[in-house]
Amino acid sequence: MASLVSALGNAGNALNVIQQALDVVQNNVSNSSTPGFATQQFNFEAQPFDTATGLAGGVRSGGTTSTRDQYADSNVQQQLQALGFYTAQSQSTGTIQSFFNVSGTSGVAAALNNLFTSFSAWSATPSDATAQQTVISDASALAQQINGLSNSMAQTGQQLDRQIGSTVGQINTLASQVQQYNAQILQESQPDSGAAANLENTLESLSQLTNITTLHQADGTVTVLIGGTPLVIGNQQYSISEQTAVKTSPPPVNAVSPPTDQILDSQGNDVTSEVTGGQLGGLLDSKNRVLASIIGDGQQAGTLNQFAQSLADTVNGILESGTVSTAPGAAAGIALFNYNTADATLAAGTLTVNPAMALGLLAPVDANGNSNGNANQLAALATAEGQIDGQSYSGYFGGIATSVGQENQTAANNETTQQSVLSQAQSLQQNISGVSLNAQATDLLQYQKAYQAVTELMPPAGSTG
C-alpha cells in the first residue's frame, strides 16, 4: 500500500511540475511580442531517492530563470542614445538650414547681390537720382532680409527651448517609473517577468532621450545615472530641470545675448556638460553650439551678427570718408546703415537704413576728391577679398549657409549609419533573450510527452502495491 501511495504522490507531483513548465511556455508565447520581454526558462530539479531512508525521489520545480543579458541590453541602450542624438541633431539643423537659400536667388544672398549691383550702377552715374534711390532701396531690402533671417533663427531657438523642456519632462516621467519598480522590488524582493519587461522598455525609452548608465544592484534595484548625475537610486528619484539664461561663468561678453539652455540636477547645479547623448543631447548641441555660432551667446557675437556689423561698418566708413559732390564746401557723407551697438549679438536683428539718408546725401566723392571714388569702392565690395575673415561678404555669408548644411548632412549620415548599428544590437538582443516560437514549440512537445509518460507510470486502478 505504501508503494502505491508513494507512486501516486510522485506521479501527481510530477504532473504538477510539468504543468508549471507548460504555464511558463504559455506565458512566453503570450508575451512573444511584448517590448522588453525576455524568455523565461523553467528549471526541473530531481529530488533525492533512497529507499533505505524513505526518500521517494521524483521531480520538483526549480523555479524559472530569465534569459535577459545585461550586456546585450546595455548595448541596445547605448545605440539608442547615439541614434536619439543624431536624429534630434538632424531635425534641428535641418530646420536651421531651411532658412538659407543656397541657390542665391532669394533671401540675404540675393539682396546682397542686388545692393552690390546698385552700387556699380551708381558709380557710373553718381549724380543720377534714380541710381541713388536704387541704392537706398536695395540697402533697405538687404537690411530687412537680414532682420528676417535673424528673427527666424531666434524663433528656432525658442522652439528648441520648448523641445528641451518637454524632453526633460519626459525623462523625469520615465525615471519615476524606474523608481516605482525599485520600490516594488524592495517591498516584494522578486520581480515578475512582466515588471522586468516594463523596466527594460522604460530604460530603452530613457536611452532614446538622454545618455544613461544603469547599474543593477545586489538588492535587485536599478540605479540610473546621467553621466555622473543620479536620476534614480533605490526608491529615490532625483529629478532634473531645464532653464534658459545667459551663463555668468565666465562673465558674459554679451550680456543681452540669446540665452543658453542649461540642465540642472535636483540640487540646482548646472550639469549640462553631463548630457552628451540621446534626444536631449542632440537638442542641446543644436541650440548651444550650432545655433549659437550663428546668432551668438554670452561669449560670441555669432557669424550672422559679425556679417551684418562688418558690412554696415565698411559701407558707412567709405561713405563717411567722402563728400556728396566735388563742389567746394560740399557736405560730408553720412552712414547708410544703423544698428544697435549696445551688444554684439544685436547687429543683425536691428540693422536698418539710416532714417536720415535721402537723395543727394550719398557721398560718391572719395577723400582724394575723385568724383566717383567712394562709389567705385562700394561696387568693388562685390568681389573684394579680405573684407571679413579674409573673405568677401558674399563668400562669408555663403560660408555660414555651407557650415549649417554640412552640420545637417553629417547628422543625417550619422543617423542613417546609427540606425543600422542599432538594428544589429537589437538583433543580438533578440537572439539571446527574445522568444523563439520554434523553441517554445519544441519545449511544449517535450513537456506534453513527459506528461503523457507520467500518467502511464501511475498504478492501474485497483492495484494494492
Give residue-wise pLDDT tens across range 118-131: 999 999 999 999 99
pLDDT higher than threshold 80 for residue 74? yes
Shared domain check, 9 and 77? no
337's grid cell: 546703415
Closest CA to 194 of 79, 358, 27: 27
Task: Give whole-number Cα distances, 214 to 39, 203, 228, 356, 444, in Å.
Answer: 21, 8, 11, 65, 35
- Mean pLDDT taken over the chain: 87
**Pairing state between β 40-46 and 212-216:** unpaired
How confident is the model at residue 2, as a pLDDT?
Answer: 45
In a domain, 205, yes or no: yes
Do the Cβ atoms of 223 and 215 come closer than 8 Å?
yes
**Pairing state between β 241-245 and 236-237:** unpaired
Shared domain check, 200 and 243? yes
Of residues 56 and 322, which shows the higher confidence score?
322
Shared domain check, 296 and 185? yes
Containing structural domain, residue 203:
73-83+169-300
Shared domain check, 246 and 282? yes
Do the Cβ atoms of 288 and 297 come closer than 8 Å?
yes
How confident is the model at residue 465, as a pLDDT?
Answer: 46
pLDDT higher than threshold 80 for residue 61? no
Q: How many C-beta atoms lie closer than 10 Å to residue 156's C-beta?
A: 20
pLDDT higher than threshold 80 for residue 296? yes
d(CA 203, CA 80): 10
In a domain, 20, yes or no: yes
In a domain, 93, yes or no: no
48's grid cell: 533525492
| Identity of residue 439 | A
In a domain, 204, yes or no: yes
In a domain, 216, yes or no: yes
Among 243, 267, 300, the domain-final residue is 300
Task: Please list, in sequence order, all residues whose beta carbon lies within 8 angstroms of the beta carbon of residue 307, skipping any fewer than 6 positions away.
Answer: 146, 348, 388, 393, 396, 397, 400
| Identity of residue 332 | A
> How many domains does the chain divide into?
2
How confident is the model at residue 239, as a pLDDT?
Answer: 97
- Reported as a pLDDT band with limits 50, 70 and 90, residue 446 is confident
Shared domain check, 260 and 205? yes
Q: Please state the pTM of the whole predicted model.
A: 0.86
- Reported as a pLDDT band with limits 50, 70 and 90, residue 54 is low
In 234-317 the beta strands, taken as DSSP E runs, fall at 236-237, 241-245, 260-264
How confident is the model at residue 72, as a pLDDT?
Answer: 86
d(CA 264, CA 69): 33
What is the three-class DSSP state of 209?
helix
> What is the mean predicted confidence (pLDDT) over 351-373?
94
pLDDT in tens, 307-326: 999 999 999 999 999 999 99
In a domain, 420, yes or no: no
d(CA 167, CA 241): 10
pLDDT higher than threshold 70 for residue 298? yes
How confident is the model at residue 263, as a pLDDT?
Answer: 97
Shared domain check, 77 and 38? no
In a domain, 112, yes or no: no
In a domain, 268, yes or no: yes
Do the Cβ atoms of 204 and 320 come closer than 8 Å?
no
Among 242, 275, 300, the domain-final residue is 300
62's grid cell: 526549480
Shared domain check, 183 and 57? no
